[in-house]
């Protein structure tokens, strides 16, 4: 029997087409792997073997007729932020306990239209607020990776930690995530995967539980850059149901992978050299620069002077939007309700019981910065700083075609290790990723090496808005040079 767990999406699709195995065999093996890992890794909020089998059967029938879409028969894990019709969709929050949408998100619909097979929803930080997947109402997700010679449990990163864990444990062949401040790229870096945040508006937000609408970006996790390009392609496209959806055509990104990067100008922003950053990250970054130089790129020192203001601006804008978006959870029309003495009491009890600590913290911050007397000092100020960050990128992209940075300031950390820390310490995880959300430009993380403890580290490639093609080309060049083949040793 084929060991499916080590196959990439492209390999799985080739095998299905060649009838080396059937979609049903693949789906059954995927569901069995998910079931057997769930106790140790806690990556899923639900697993649906029956639906997987039904969809796989339909795929097998299509493949037998010589038909089928771009992902025909491939199991794809879905972050619990995406509405899937008839399947519990909770955003890992008690306030949405038992919620089964009667509609399908545009992104998942596009996956199913191309033949992808649903088998599970993945855990996440509650409402996508977090960088460690420790705030999920179903408990922390465990990273399949462990430090050499240690059995200490590590976080997979967040907020899309369940998706990253599932894929890196070999349980899926692609996974969806959402990235509001780094929630795809940071977990991808922590688990040795490729993670893509396309340009704002490429992937429809319709049917995706909203966190901060102007910063939320759906995107994929994949094992290789080519797989990630294919998934981004399928997930992208204009959607009239999302007023910020980009109306232009989706290019063939998968075919960009492997094209020469010769002559591309790569910017190295000096502000990303942070105090206290581990030497290994610095070394890996320099290594990345050398790889791209060897591939024929021209390296340019650039400055993004607003970098250090991106996180503070984010922690005004994102909570402000969240406090507004999350106002809909009032226990009246859907989700959980805690009955109180009157209407207001019912609202307050419902929201007090339904939202976890971190979500409440952010709603309170957001409510405060939008409240009378503070709006100008905080919210309006942050929006102005946002434009300055955006202009930083515009200026940089006059001189360079892509920007290379580390994805995260550290490798995966231990579960609970930041529990007593100041919330800001957790927020700093997104220091290198959040700028691309603020500016809306495409960015991806590519696994590039291991640290001294044997834990994966990622490099980030950022390009101009709508120029995913260059991002995938540069990402593939790094992948080629790094030839990152490491996998977590199976202990689960």
Partner 1 sequence: MSVTKDEVRRIAGLARIKEPSDRLDALTDELNGILNWVEMLDEVDVEDVEPMTTAAPTKLPLREDVVTDGGKRDAILKNAPRSEEGFFVVPKSVE
Residues in region 334-353 near partner 1 by CB under 8 A: 334-337, 339-340, 342-344, 346-349, 351-353
- The residues with which 269 forms a beta bridge, in sequence order, are 302
Polymer length in residues for the chain = 492
* C-beta neighbour count of 65 within 10 angstroms: 8
Considering beta carbons, is residue 428 or 448 the nearer one to partner 1?
A: 428
Annotated catalytic residue within 92, 93, 105, 183? 183
Closer residue to partner 1, CB minimum distance, 98 or 296: 98
From the number of C-beta atoms within 10 Å of its C-beta (0-12, 13-18, 19+), residue 339 rates as: exposed
183 noted as active-site residue: yes
Give the residue with the Cβ less far from partner 1, 20 or 357: 357
Per-residue mark of binding to partner 1, 376-405 (x: CB under 8 A): -xx-xxxxxxxxx-x---------------
Among 222, 434, 439, 446, binds partner 1 (CB under 8 A): 439
Q: Which of 20, 290, 357, 489 binds partner 1 (CB under 8 A)?
A: 357
Q: Is 418 within 8 Å of 425 (Cβ atoms)?
A: yes
371 binds partner 1 (CB under 8 A): yes
Longest dimension (CA), the chain: 70
Which span sits near partner 1 by CB under 8 A: 159-167, 237-245, 273-281, 455-463?
Answer: 237-245
Residues 286-315 that bind partner 1 (CB under 8 A): 306, 308-309, 312-313, 315
Options 80, 330, 430, 469; binder of partner 1; rule CB under 8 A:
330
- Residue recorded with tokens 């699709």: 13
Whether 286 is catalytic is no
In whole angstroms, how close is the CB of 421 to partner 1 at the nearest point?
11
Smaller CB distance to partner 1: residue 352 or 416?
Answer: 352
* CB neighbour list of residue 33: distance below 8 Å, 6 or more residues apart: 4, 5, 169, 170, 171
Q: Which is nearer to partner 1, 312 or 409 (CB)?
A: 312
Nearer to partner 1, 144 or 207 (CB): 207
**In this structure, what are the phi and psi dihedrals at residue 379, rounded to the nearest 5 degrees?**
-65, -50
Nearest CA to 408 out of 440, 439, 463, 447 is that of 447
Query: Binders of partner 1: how many residues, by CB under 8 A?
Result: 73
Asked about 123 being catalytic, the answer comes back as: no
Q: How far is the CB of 253 from partner 1 (least distance, A)?
A: 20
Name the token pair of 197: 């945040």
Distance CA 302, CA 332 (A): 52
What's the sign of the alpha-carbon dihedral 175, 178, 179, 183?
negative
Binding mask 240-279 for partner 1 (x = CB under 8 A): x--xx-xx--------------------------------
219 near partner 1, rule: CB under 8 A: no
Q: Single out the residue of 14, 113, 423, 489 in contact with partner 1 (rule: CB under 8 A).
A: 423
Q: What is the residue whose two structure tokens read 């191309």?
A: 114
Catalytic residue among 59, 132, 159, 160: 159
Contact region with partner 1 (CB under 8 A), list: 23-31, 97-105, 180-188, 484-492: 97-105
Does residue 419 bind partner 1 (CB under 8 A)?
A: no
Catalytic residues: 79, 159, 183
């Amino acid at each position: 029997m084929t060991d499916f767990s080590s196959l990439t999406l492209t390999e799985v699709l080739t095998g299905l087409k060649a009838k080396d195995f059937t979609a049903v065999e693949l789906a059954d093996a995927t569901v069995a792997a998910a079931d057997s890992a769930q106790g140790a890794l806690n990556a899923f909020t639900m697993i649906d073997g029956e639906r997987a089998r039904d969809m796989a059967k339909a795929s097998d029938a299509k493949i037998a007729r010589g038909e089928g879409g771009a992902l025909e028969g491939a199991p794809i894990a879905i972050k619990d932020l995406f509405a899937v019709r008839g399947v519990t969709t909770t955003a890992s929050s008690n306030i949405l306990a038992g919620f089964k949408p009667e509609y399908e998100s545009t992104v998942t619909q596009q996956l199913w239209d191309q033949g992808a097979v649903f088998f599970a929803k993945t855990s996440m930080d509650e409402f996508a607020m977090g960088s460690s997947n420790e705030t999920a109402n179903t408990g922390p997700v465990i990273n399949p990776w462990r430090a050499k010679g240690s059995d200490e449990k590590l976080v997979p990163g967040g907020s899309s930690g369940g998706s990253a864990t599932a894929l890196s444990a070999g349980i899926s062949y692609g996974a969806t995530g959402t990235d509001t401040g780094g929630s795809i790229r940071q977990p991808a870096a922590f688990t040795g995967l490729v993670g893509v945040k396309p340009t704002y508006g490429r992937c429809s937000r319709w049917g995706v539980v909203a966190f901060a609408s102007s910063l939320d970006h759906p995107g994929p996790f994949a094992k290789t850059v080519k797989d990630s390009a294919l998934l981004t392609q399928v997930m992208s496209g204009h959607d009239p149901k999302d007023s910020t959806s980009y109306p232009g055509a989706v290019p063939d990104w998968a075919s960009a992978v492997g094209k020469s990067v010769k002559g591309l100008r790569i910017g190295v922003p000096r502000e990303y050299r942070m105090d206290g950053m581990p030497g290994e990250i610095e070394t890996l970054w320099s290594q990345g620069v050398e790889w791209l130089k060897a591939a024929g790129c021209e390296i340019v020192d650039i400055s993004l002077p607003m970098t250090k203001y991106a996180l503070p601006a984010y922690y005004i804008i994102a909570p402000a939007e969240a406090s507004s978006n999350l106002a809909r959870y009032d226990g009246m029309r859907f989700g959980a309700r805690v009955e109180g003495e009157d209407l207001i009491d019912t609202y307050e009890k419902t929201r007090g019981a339904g939202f976890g600590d971190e979500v409440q913290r952010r709603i309170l911050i957001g409510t405060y910065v939008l409240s009378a007397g503070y709006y100008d000092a905080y919210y309006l100020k942050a929006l102005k700083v946002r434009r300055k960050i955006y202009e930083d990128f515009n200026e940089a992209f006059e001189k360079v075609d892509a920007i290379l940075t580390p994805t995260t300031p550290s490798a995966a950390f231990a579960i609970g290790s930041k529990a007593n820390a100041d919330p800001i310490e957790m927020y700093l995880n997104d220091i290198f990723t959040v700028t691309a959300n603020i500016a809306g430009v495409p960015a991806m993380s590519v696994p590039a090496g291991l640290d001294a403890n044997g834990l994966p580290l990622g490099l980030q490639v950022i390009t101009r808005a709508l120029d995913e093609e260059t991002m995938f080309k540069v990402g593939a060049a790094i992948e080629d040079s790094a030839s990152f083949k490491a996998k977590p040793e199976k202990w689960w």
